[in-house]
């Protein structure tokens, strides 16, 4: 906690004007109910008696956790004994007493998701797969578009390359609009509508992509042209992230991309190593997933299959060549903000300094970058990054659709205009309708 921002108050689940208030009272119980139901289905299929007993124990723990949240009980220490659980319990002891409905929003929410992972089993895997299957039409259209961009990139002029980068970056950005932790009961139609909506410049409140493209055109002396992406959601969003990744590599804009994923199931739909492998498997065998996985779907065309397999062949080759790498640092699921990184994860921090650009995807990563505190919305993004900002040695791009109160880098008067009649609450920032592409140059060249 000593390294987190202290100038402004952290958002709280006890503040009725904050989205954390609604989150704790409505979303958390819904998420935990879904975990219980999924665990019960999975346990019914188990043959191993010991695993079944372990699963039933976890079901009881999650049911008790849900009841504790609803009744606003005191937050109890995690029962696990691993290093991450120990770090949460130590911080809980420093912050205590906390109750679920009157506590720092980000800390308590992260604490909750550390309470529901079961060995190597992902309690959210069914929801992840279902959400990607529902995105079939978008996936097919983008696969064909990606293949065309890649095939033309070898002969493209600088302006065409720039236009392709902008297009794929915005796909990467707006893919974050559908988030299963925000809308766990989202229907297929709602998913499609959300993914297709809001892609207009007026909804992009801060757009620094031109500065990022200029950075990527520079040739850093003595350094590999590498980009790191700290991923957020699996499914369609991961697919969009890989479109940008694959294009950066195939067009030789960069030499290597490192994807950072979570080591445990996290915030319902966050990417784990197995989710990356599963997506490649879908692209290799698309009929098995898209035709056999859902009733009433039309067969894939040969062109559709060819486009998807083109992606698989290329992305798998990048992995085999060592140009595309997946890493799962425990730091990403530890308590607190990313302001702590230089002090508590110095190896990760030093490694990120070797990258030309680090892209942070999604709402929670943005909140952790800037501290999830009530900044003045006109505060420069680089200032709000604290030790990850100016002269940090790390160039950061945050691609975020807004699903929480914290926001920085806005023009004067814009927040007031967007609030409209809801002067006490920043409700415009709760739904993913607006986005930011915020850049901080942490290096001198």
Give pLDDT tens digits for 364-379: 999 999 999 999 999 9
Residues 176 and 39 grouped into a single domain: no
The boundaries of the domain holding residue 28 are 19-113
Residue 337 contacts by C-beta under 8 Å, 6 or more apart in sequence?
3, 4, 5, 106, 368, 369, 370, 371, 372
The ranges of the chain with pLDDT < 70 are: 1-3, 6-7, 117-126, 177-200, 293-296, 445
pLDDT of residue 424: 84
Residues 103 and 134 grouped into a single domain: no
pLDDT of residue 180: 45
Residue 11 falls inside a structural domain: no
DSSP 235: T
CATH number for the domain spanning 130: value is 3.40.50.10880
Q: What tokens were used for 248?
A: 């950066």
Q: Does an H or E element contain 207, and which?
A: strand 204-207
Distance CA 272, CA 266 (A): 9
Contact (CB, 8 A) for 113 and 50:
no
Q: Which of 111, 58, 121, 59 is nearest to 264 (CA)?
A: 121
Q: Which of 90, 82, 290, 271 is nearest to 188 (CA)?
A: 290
pLDDT of residue 121: 59
Q: Packing angle between helix 125-133 and helix 273-284, nearest 10 degrees?
A: 40
Domain boundary among 113, 142, 160: 113
Domain boundary among 61, 93, 113: 113
Residues 191 and 258 grouped into a single domain: yes
Residues 420 and 341 grouped into a single domain: yes
pLDDT of residue 191: 46
Domain boundary among 113, 135, 160: 113
Contact (CB, 8 A) for 380 and 410:
no
Residues 273 and 417 grouped into a single domain: yes
Distance CA 115, CA 388 (A): 29
Q: What pLDDT digit, counting tens, does each position of 240-263 carry?
A: 999 999 999 999 999 999 999 999
Q: Packing angle between helix 158-174 and helix 209-217, nearest 10 degrees?
A: 130
Distance CA 73, CA 12 (A): 16
Torsion of CA 195, 399, 374, 429, to 10 degrees: -20
């Amino acid at each position: 906690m000593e390294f987190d921002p202290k100038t402004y108050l952290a958002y709280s689940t006890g503040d009725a004007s904050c989205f954390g208030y609604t989150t704790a009272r409505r979303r958390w119980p819904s998420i935990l109910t879904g975990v219980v139901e999924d665990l019960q289905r999975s346990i019914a299929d188990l043959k191993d008696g010991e695993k079944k007993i372990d699963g039933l124990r976890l079901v009881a723990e999650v049911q008790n956790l849900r009841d504790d949240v609803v009744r606003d009980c005191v937050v109890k220490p995690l029962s696990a004994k691993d290093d991450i659980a120990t770090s949460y319990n130590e911080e809980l002891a420093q912050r205590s007493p906390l109750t679920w409905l009157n506590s720092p929003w980000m800390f308590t929410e992260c604490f909750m998701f550390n309470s529901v992972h079961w060995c190597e089993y992902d309690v959210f895997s069914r929801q992840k797969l279902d959400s990607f299957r529902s995105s079939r039409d978008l996936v097919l259209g983008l696969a064909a578009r990606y293949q065309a961009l890649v095939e033309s990139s070898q002969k493209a002029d600088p302006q065409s390359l720039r236009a392709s980068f902008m297009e794929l970056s915005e796909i990467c950005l707006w893919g974050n609009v559908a988030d299963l932790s925000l809308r766990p009961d989202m229907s297929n139609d709602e998913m499609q509508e959300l993914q297709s909506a809001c892609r207009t410049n007026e909804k992009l409140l801060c757009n620094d992509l031109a500065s990022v493209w200029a950075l990527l055109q520079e040739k850093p002396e003595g350094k590999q042209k590498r980009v790191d992406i700290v991923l957020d959601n699996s499914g369609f969003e991961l697919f969009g992230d890989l479109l940008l990744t694959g294009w950066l590599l195939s067009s030789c804009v960069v030499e290597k991309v490192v994807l950072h994923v979570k080591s445990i199931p996290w915030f319902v739909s966050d990417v784990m190593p197995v989710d990356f492998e599963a997506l490649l498997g879908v692209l290799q065998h698309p009929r098995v997933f898209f035709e056999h996985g859902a009733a009433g779907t039309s067969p894939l065309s040969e062109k559709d299959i060819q486009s998807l397999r083109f992606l698989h062949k290329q992305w798998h080759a990048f992995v085999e060549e060592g140009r595309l790498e997946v890493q799962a640092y425990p730091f990403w699921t530890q308590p607190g903000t990313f302001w702590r990184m230089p002090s508590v994860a110095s190896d990760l921090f030093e490694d990120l300094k070797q990258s030309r650009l680090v892209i942070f995807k999604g709402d929670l990563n943005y909140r952790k970058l800037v501290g999830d505190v009530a900044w003045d919305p006109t505060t420069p993004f680089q200032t709000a990054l604290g030790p990850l900002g100016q002269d940090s040695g790390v160039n950061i791009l945050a691609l975020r659709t807004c699903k929480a109160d914290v926001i920085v880098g806005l023009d004067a008067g814009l927040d007031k205009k967007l609030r409209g009649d809801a002067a006490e609450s920043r409700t415009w920032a709760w739904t993913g309708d607006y986005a930011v592409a915020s850049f901080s140059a942490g290096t001198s060249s």
